[in-house]
Amino acid sequence: MSRMTMIQSIRSAMDTSMARDESVVVFGEDVGYFGGVFRCTEGLQKKYGSHRCFDSPINESGIIGSAIGMAAYGLRPCVEIQFADYVFPGFDQLSQEASRIRYRSNNDFTAPMVVRMPTGGGIFGGQTHSQSPEAIFAHVSGLKTVIPSNPYDAKGLLAASIEDNDPVMFLEPKRLYNGPFDGHHDRPITPWSKHELGEVPDEYYTVPLGKAATRREGEAVTVLAYGTMVYVAEAAVEETGIDAEIIDLRTILPLDIEAIEASVKKTGRCVIVHEATKTCGFGAELMALVMEGCFYHLEAPVIRVTGYDMPYPHAHEWEYFPGPKRVGAALKKVMEA
Amino acid sequence: MSRMTMIQSIRSAMDTSMARDESVVVFGEDVGYFGGVFRCTEGLQKKYGSHRCFDSPINESGIIGSAIGMAAYGLRPCVEIQFADYVFPGFDQLSQEASRIRYRSNNDFTAPMVVRMPTGGGIFGGQTHSQSPEAIFAHVSGLKTVIPSNPYDAKGLLAASIEDNDPVMFLEPKRLYNGPFDGHHDRPITPWSKHELGEVPDEYYTVPLGKAATRREGEAVTVLAYGTMVYVAEAAVEETGIDAEIIDLRTILPLDIEAIEASVKKTGRCVIVHEATKTCGFGAELMALVMEGCFYHLEAPVIRVTGYDMPYPHAHEWEYFPGPKRVGAALKKVMEA
Amino acid sequence: MSEPKAADPKPLSLHVPEPEFRPGDKPDFSNVPIPKAGAARKPPIDVDAQDIHDLAYTIIRVMDREGNAVGPWAGELNDDEVKQGLEDMLRVRAFDARMQKAQRQGKTSFYMQALGEEAIACAFSKVLRPGDMNFPTYRQQGLLLSADYPMVDMMNQIYSNKADPLKGRQLPIMYSSKQHGFFTISGNLATQFIQGVGWAMGSAISGDDKIAASWIGDGSTAESDFHAAMVFASTYRAPAILNVVNNQWAISTFQGIARGKAATFASRGLGFGIPALRVDGNDYLAVYAVAKWAADRARAGLGPTLIEYVTYRAGAHSTSDDPSAYRPKTEFDAWPLGDPVERLKEYLIKRGTWSEARHVQANEMLEAQIAEANREAVKNGTLHDGPHASAKTMFEDVYEEMPLHIVRQRQEAGV
Amino acid sequence: MSEPKAADPKPLSLHVPEPEFRPGDKPDFSNVPIPKAGAARKPPIDVDAQDIHDLAYTIIRVMDREGNAVGPWAGELNDDEVKQGLEDMLRVRAFDARMQKAQRQGKTSFYMQALGEEAIACAFSKVLRPGDMNFPTYRQQGLLLSADYPMVDMMNQIYSNKADPLKGRQLPIMYSSKQHGFFTISGNLATQFIQGVGWAMGSAISGDDKIAASWIGDGSTAESDFHAAMVFASTYRAPAILNVVNNQWAISTFQGIARGKAATFASRGLGFGIPALRVDGNDYLAVYAVAKWAADRARAGLGPTLIEYVTYRAGAHSTSDDPSAYRPKTEFDAWPLGDPVERLKEYLIKRGTWSEARHVQANEMLEAQIAEANREAVKNGTLHDGPHASAKTMFEDVYEEMPLHIVRQRQEAGV
Ligand SMILES: Cc1ncc(C[n+]2csc(CCOP(=O)(O)OP(=O)(O)O)c2C)c(N)n1
Ligand SMILES: Cc1ncc(C[n+]2csc(CCOP(=O)(O)OP(=O)(O)O)c2C)c(N)n1
Ligand SMILES: [Mg+2]
Ligand SMILES: [Mg+2]
């Protein structure tokens, strides 16, 4: 057991997976010799050789397309897209190929692969280093989408994703890489070394895909969140003093629908929080599922707190970010309704 | 005034737009000499010259990327993607470029352009000629998305889209190209020549973007639909005898939220119908908007009737298609709730 | 920006390439230079790309107009092998003809034939070994038909019937057979070109000895995944053969819309340091020899080869297409590289091991086999009349395990 | 598939290219052939691509080691123009240094310098005319700084302050100025390469006389939009200049990860029939001459030219990067094409129209101007301390008219 940052735990997931399974290979832009611009793959090339961890040309369609071919061959590629914002040149390979190879070939071929990518804002990355594309992945049948919120989960979920026999989009909230953020951009953050979820086994383990985690039990209202927003929700709950149940979805698809339904049926109220733009964001699907599964238990309309419908602006990053103030306001509103 | 099929009215929109505005240019795969695989651009090259209507290389990123450049230059490109399924190689140019050029340059540059594409199933096109990607476009701030359901609207909306100063995704339900379908695949269809919305002025006119059309007034339940599904809804309403209000959204984004809210507040019930896969489909956003805007008026949970979450299968096309039987069942269920 | 002392500005105009012949024109290819059979040199497999630029701009040919096999690329196959090749091509042609008919009879939604370009897939299949993998387009049925893939299975898929190996999920002709080295075909163009390179990289990463072959059409080389494949193949020296089937047409669009000026598709390889060969795609012997050279290179760890097969799409693009709207009906007759079947037949007759009579006989036998397979397949159903796989299979295999939301959807569907 | 009679299978392995030197190594480029200045021929602008293959594999150079301008590409600029060029480069270098410092002082989030490759954008800007359009990457600040774009506006954007012309929406350095022929920079690589071609096509469609210049880095040529641009530019003979700035590095990745074997980036053009020139990017005179040749071609309706500028990224990739982790610190000193500023300075001194003293003086004057602009800009605010444009502007210009859902979001935000 060690204290790890999220970067270290992600690295440890790849390291332990590569150690136990020769078919695991890691590649992407700058991930080889240098170890990735966020250093998630540091040391892997040295340890496992440049045929198992290597730099790729700057071509996201090539990264994903070649990973599909390798997966069809029998390997388990775990590739890095430098920022989630840059996954779109490879989106055709994801949405039309990786996602459908099992189905269209009736299991003759499969695409067990992981596409890792840093996601979300909070580092003044502007419109091209801050996007959260999870809803777009969730709309594509055949893909799985995972978004961890802490080092322990990140390692276990990434190991499970690498083991999984379907293509998994693994979104890493970059604001959490070095510390749990604690919801406010203008206050000091707790380092992972002081956070209980920064305690990570050194050996291989998995956290199953498709299971949400209840980060806080409560009776008054259910907050559905994932990634960075888990901490924003925690801050807002603490500040408002509302007895909310905070559910960290962890996996967007497959989704732990039963956990969501059970919680909302219990509380009768729900606030959904994500950083992505609002229209057709994953919050819309959550809203729809709550409508379908819990309508008769609802005492107030569900509220979405999300990024606004525009590119992530550079200077106004923190006005754009759905912070504790906005989430707190939603909590109060849903309780007053 | 002529009777036109949807193909003819779409052609007429481009024809009249090209005639009145020299800056309108049309290109795409097979659209030049041949006039497009669905013949929507037939005759335009002959009439306006090959510099204004021409074949393009098979590269959707090139088609959309070059259109962005032309639009920045000052033209109004109206390009064709042969099937909506093939727009994804160009999705990076749409989601990261066309959609943001105005915003990121503070109006210094703009991208007035239209991307036309046949969408939806119903012609045994299998998983690669049947997709409905509207929700993915709707999630991208900066894009507009239009889906007409009849020749009159198609011409007017396409002309308005070409006139519009923002990038517009124009999705043409291919099942409607030659006739309004009438909801059942195994019954004869009415030709457009017998349909009142097949009556189309020969001259230039526009139908404004962002305004829904009420196809049927009713008191019992609101049905939100667009494209092919409008006719499925009509068939289901007729067969169940339920006094539904059918709203044809016409524009997915910007959305006529006020019309939706007014209708659902009146009826207190709502069924949403689309052909795209369910999870994170546009129905989820509609559901969320109804939750946010009409919760206290709802007498029953809103129901989505959609394509299932899997690739559009070839042999089981009509089991997959959300036909009148499924919509009818939803109408009954929402009335009984 | 300063004003340079250059010529006065003058109006520009857009150059839109046009094919030489359109419906009504009399096609005449006499100005197209066709290099003599046997003229192209055969370099060693470890040659550097920059030392064989010429081979990317010529057409490597083995059979001359008199039916002789000549030059350094000749002599790779014995008569029995060539007879097998001829039979393979005849089988593809007859199979296509039968399935075209089935589509017109309403037994399926769609069909795509390989008429005029049968030599390419048929000859290519012979250079692969068990375990190697093709990443084909929709026009390489020859790979399956010249291997031992059962025709009745192909038909079952074409009819989307209850015995369809892909359970009716895929379009007809979009086959998949790992066992036969045939990767699941995508309807989306060019995506498989880079996947094949990735597969080959996988083999190299694993210290395996298997190679991959990626396939693409002339029109589809314009797609960006062509570039991705070239970049990855050249960077990692992937053991892959990159096949461009230049059949002159992409639906209604001629190859000039994908290719600039005098450049060839093969010459695209040179900018990546990839050896590139341009070959007569209607010459079974030349296709085999060139493909073999590339396979040997790949297996020897020397990396990828780009091959352009010059051929002609003699039929319509698909059953949804009518080419008389955009090209002269007689263009194939005028096509200077002839018909691959006729040419190989003449070669064998000249060798004295074949005859018109045996040719007719072989054809009859194949047609009988195909008719028999068709009777079998039809018993399992056809697209519109069924039976199909159970509707419940539609919900399966989206993921390895069915997630709750799909379980619920299946329950709602009542299947 | 039959078993060919080839060699026994042997295990393959993956080739992963490595740069020659890593941290700790002593860089030595003496084995890199540097063609003599003046040696490359200068063809007429209407030349066919296939007749100048050699120019895609050489390095066109004008200034020799003694500071003389020699050969057919020399003699394009007079002394005043060259002096202006030197001053432009000095301005870029000093501006970059000042802004690097500002970033370290916390005045902005991020900066990217063009150290070592100033000659390219500065010389290139001189061949364009008003109305022409660049589609730049983030390393062509030289285009603005050698035109008349106000430095204080650049700084206002870098500081995202209340006078930022882009209202704080864009990253620092992602400038936009239609008036200065500078298309809004994208953070996404390569997308602008095809957009520039589309712009040029728009000019040709309209019978205009304007041309476009697309820009891309060596690493980014691997992106698929590079291919899209080549395909469209060659097909329609777009009046575009396709600029590849090969500065040897893409963040931590050397050019071998984007380029196969002995091929050059320039040689990619040949497979499309696009004339391609490879030029010494640290030689202001050569860059100007080659760019001028390409501009003349484009204006004459002869279509696109691909130019590879061979240079070296002397600084870090960005302020987020530390290159000592992946390359020797002394690599730039060993770089055989030298420093573009030093080389042009020596040329002018040799001409007798410049001196060390004037050089120092010019630098001091520029630094004073930059300091003055910086004082102005800082008055308008800086990223973390503000003031910024009003938060309400964040909701504007997503569309020409604000749709209802954004109106509601703005209301909810209370701005
Ligand atoms: C991404 C994508 N874009 C467009 C299409 C539509 N389409 C199908 S086949 C075809 C022409 C392909 O031509 P070519 O590559 O020359 O192959 P050929 O049909 O001649 O064998 C087109 C445009 C597609 N299937 N996928
Ligand atoms: C689509 C995309 N993928 C990845 C990145 C991340 N990235 C930014 S710059 C860069 C390296 C580019 O290298 P090169 O093209 O050589 O340009 P240089 O920085 O040397 O000028 C990378 C990988 C990006 N911005 N966009
Ligand atoms: Mg073709
Ligand atoms: Mg570079």
**Among partner residues A54, A85, A315, which is closest to D168 by beta-carbon distance?**
A315
Q: Which of chain B's residues have a Cβ under 8 Å away from the Cβ of C167?
A: 315
Which domain covers residue C60, as residue numbers?
49-384
Ligand 3 centroid to Cα of residue C61, in Å, is 20
Indicate whether D194 belongs to any domain: yes
Indicate whether D38 belongs to any domain: no
Q: Which of chain A's residues have a Cβ under 8 Å away from the Cβ of D109?
A: 124, 126, 314
Does C209 share its domain with C279?
A: yes
The alpha helices in B21-150, defined as continuous H runs, are 44-48, 60-73, 91-92, 101-104, 134-138
Does D282 share its domain with D398?
A: no
8 Å CB contact between C67 and C350: yes
Ligand 1 centroid to Cα of residue C189, in Å, is 6
Does C261 share its domain with C179?
A: yes
Does C256 share its domain with C402?
A: no
- Evaluate if residue A273 carries a pLDDT over 80: yes
- Evaluate if residue D5 carries a pLDDT over 80: no
Indicate whether D149 belongs to any domain: yes
The reported pLDDT for the residue numbered D270 is 95
Active site includes A195? no
Report helix, strand or coil for C73.
coil
Nearest chain D residue to A90 by CA: give it.
D224
Does C405 share its domain with C301?
A: no
Q: Which atom of ligand 2 is nearest to the CA of A89?
A: 1
Q: What is the pLDDT of residues D299-334, one digit of tens each?
A: 999 999 999 999 999 999 999 999 999 999 999 999
Q: Which atom of ligand 1 is nearest to the CA of B30?
A: 23
Average pLDDT over residues D55-61: 97
Strand partners, A117: A171
- Evaluate if residue D2 carries a pLDDT over 60: no
Does C334 share its domain with C349?
A: yes
- Evaluate if residue C8 carries a pLDDT over 80: no
CB-based contacts of A7, cutoff 8 Å, min separation 6: A38, A39, A40, A177, A178
Partner chains of B (3+ C-beta pairs under 8 Å) = A, C, D
CB-based contacts of B141, cutoff 8 Å, min separation 6: A277, A279, A309, A310, A311, B99, D398
Does C175 share its domain with C258?
A: yes
Does C400 share its domain with C293?
A: no
- Domain total of chain C: 2
Interface of D with C in 141-160 (CB under 8 A): 147
8 Å CB contact between C83 and C134: no
- Say if strands A221-225 and A53-55 run parallel, antiparallel, or are unpaired: unpaired
Q: What is the pLDDT of residues D171-203, one digit of tens each?
A: 999 999 999 999 999 999 999 999 999 999 999
- Residue A189 — very low, low, confident or very high, per pLDDT cuts 50/70/90? confident
Task: Answer yes or no: do B254 and D404 touch at CB < 8 A.
Answer: yes
As a whole number of angstroms, the distance between CA D3 and CA C127 comes to 8
pTM over cut 0.90: yes
Task: Answer yes or no: do B311 and A127 touch at CB < 8 A.
Answer: no
* Residues having CB within 6 Å of any atom of ligand 2: A 29, 58, 82, 86, 89; D 139, 187-189, 217-220, 247, 249-251, 313, 317
Interface of A with D in 178-237 (CB under 8 A): none
Q: CATH number of the domain at D234, please.
A: 3.40.50.970
Strand partners, B246: B216, B223
How high is the mean pLDDT of chain B?
97
Partner chains of C (3+ C-beta pairs under 8 Å) = A, B, D
Cα Rg of chain D, angstroms: 23
Place of tokens 């970033």: D103
Strand partners, B117: B171
**Among partner residues C176, C178, C398, which is closest to A141 by beta-carbon distance?**
C398
Supply the DSSP string of B282-322, one letter for each residue: HHHHHHHHHHHHHGGG-SS--EEEEE-SS---STTHHHHS-
Report helix, strand or coil for C154.
helix
- Evaluate if residue A272 carries a pLDDT over 90: yes
Place of tokens 């994170």: B280
Place of tokens 């209850």: C162
Instruction: Tell me how far CA of residue D401 lies from CA of A100, A310, B160, in angstroms.
Output: 39, 13, 14
The reported pLDDT for the residue numbered B1 is 85
Indicate whether D148 belongs to any domain: yes
Does C296 share its domain with C406?
A: no
How high is the mean pLDDT of chain C?
96
Among the listed residues C93, C23, C11, the one whose alpha carbon sits nearest the alpha carbon of residue C252: C23
As a whole number of angstroms, the distance between CA A76 and CA A114 comes to 8
Q: Which amino acid is at C13?
A: S
Does D354 share its domain with D307?
A: yes
How close, in Å, is residue B130 to chain C by CA atoms?
Answer: 11
Q: What is the pLDDT of residues A67-102, one digit of tens each?
A: 999 999 999 999 999 999 999 999 999 999 999 999
8 Å CB contact between C355 and C52: no
Q: Which amino acid is at C116?
A: G
Among the listed residues A173, A115, A107, A121, the one whose alpha carbon sits nearest the alpha carbon of residue A140: A115
What DSSP character marks residue D36? P
As a whole number of angstroms, the distance between CA C294 and CA C240 comes to 8
Q: What is the pLDDT of residues C33-85, one digit of tens each?
A: 899 999 999 999 999 999 999 999 999 999 999 999 999 999 999 999 999 99
- Evaluate if residue D1 carries a pLDDT over 80: no
The reported pLDDT for the residue numbered D324 is 96
How close, in Å, is residue A193 to chain C by CA atoms?
Answer: 36
Instruction: Tell me how far CA of residue D282 lies from CA of A163, A175, C393, D84, D118, in angstroms.
Output: 50, 40, 64, 16, 8
As a whole number of angstroms, the distance between CA B171 and CA A156 comes to 42
Q: What is the pLDDT of residues C335-376, one digit of tens each?
A: 999 999 999 999 999 999 999 999 999 999 999 999 999 999
- Residue C204 — very low, low, confident or very high, per pLDDT cuts 50/70/90? very high
CA D283 to chain centroid, in Å, comes to 14
Indicate whether C32 belongs to any domain: no
The reported pLDDT for the residue numbered D6 is 52
- Closest-CA residue, ligand 1 atom 25, reads C188
Indicate whether C255 belongs to any domain: yes
For residue C162, how many other CB atoms are within 10 A of its CB? 17
- Evaluate if residue D123 carries a pLDDT over 70: yes
Segments of chain B with pLDDT less than 50: none
The reported pLDDT for the residue numbered C5 is 46
- Evaluate if residue C257 carries a pLDDT over 50: yes
Judged by a CB distance cut-off of 8 A, whether residue B59 touches chain D is yes
Instruction: Tell me how far CA of residue B289 lies from CA of A32, A285, A288, A302, D413, in angstroms.
Output: 46, 11, 10, 10, 18
How large a percentage of chain A has pLDDT more than 90?
Answer: 98
The reported pLDDT for the residue numbered D7 is 57
Catalytic pick from A51, A129, A139, A184?
A: A129
Does D138 share its domain with D278?
A: yes
8 Å CB contact between B167 and B144: yes
The ipTM assigned to this model is 0.98
CA C84 to chain centroid, in Å, comes to 19
What is the separation, in whole angstroms, between the first and last Cα of chain C?
A: 70
Does C262 share its domain with C396?
A: no
Q: How many helices (H) and strands (E) does chain A have?
A: 12, 14
Handedness of CA D8, D11, D14, D20 (dihedral sign): negative
The alpha helices in chain B, defined as continuous H runs, are 6-20, 44-48, 60-73, 91-92, 101-104, 134-138, 151-163, 229-240, 257-267, 282-294, 317-320, 324-336
What DSSP character marks residue A230? H
Indicate whether C400 belongs to any domain: yes
The reported pLDDT for the residue numbered D105 is 96
**Among partner residues B136, B277, B284, which is closest to A141 by beta-carbon distance?**
B277
Q: What is the pLDDT of residues C299-328, one digit of tens each?
A: 999 999 999 999 999 999 999 999 999 999
8 Å CB contact between D200 and D238: yes
Joined together, the tokens standing for residue D50 give 């296939």
Nearest chain D residue to C149 by CA: give it.
D1
Judged by a CB distance cut-off of 8 A, whether residue A59 touches chain C is yes
- Say if strands A251-253 and A144-146 run parallel, antiparallel, or are unpaired: antiparallel
Q: Which amino acid is at D343?
A: R
- Backbone phi, then psi, for A31, in 5-degree steps? -85, -15
The reported pLDDT for the residue numbered C7 is 57
As a whole number of angstroms, the distance between CA B35 and CA D93 comes to 53
The reported pLDDT for the residue numbered C6 is 52
Instruction: Tell me how far CA of residue B306 lies from CA of A282, B252, B272, in angstroms.
Output: 17, 16, 8
Place of tokens 């890095």: A80
Cα Rg of chain A, angstroms: 19
- Evaluate if residue D39 carries a pLDDT over 50: yes
What DSSP character marks residue C182? B
Q: Which of chain B's residues have a Cβ under 8 Å away from the Cβ of A296?
A: 301
Ligand 4 centroid to Cα of residue D63, in Å, is 24
8 Å CB contact between B244 and B223: yes
Strand partners, B145: B169, B253
Among the listed residues D228, D128, D133, the one whose alpha carbon sits nearest the alpha carbon of residue D184: D133
The reported pLDDT for the residue numbered D3 is 42
- Evaluate if residue C4 carries a pLDDT over 60: no
Joined together, the tokens standing for residue C120 give 């390419």
CB-based contacts of C390, cutoff 8 Å, min separation 6: C415
Indicate whether D157 belongs to any domain: yes
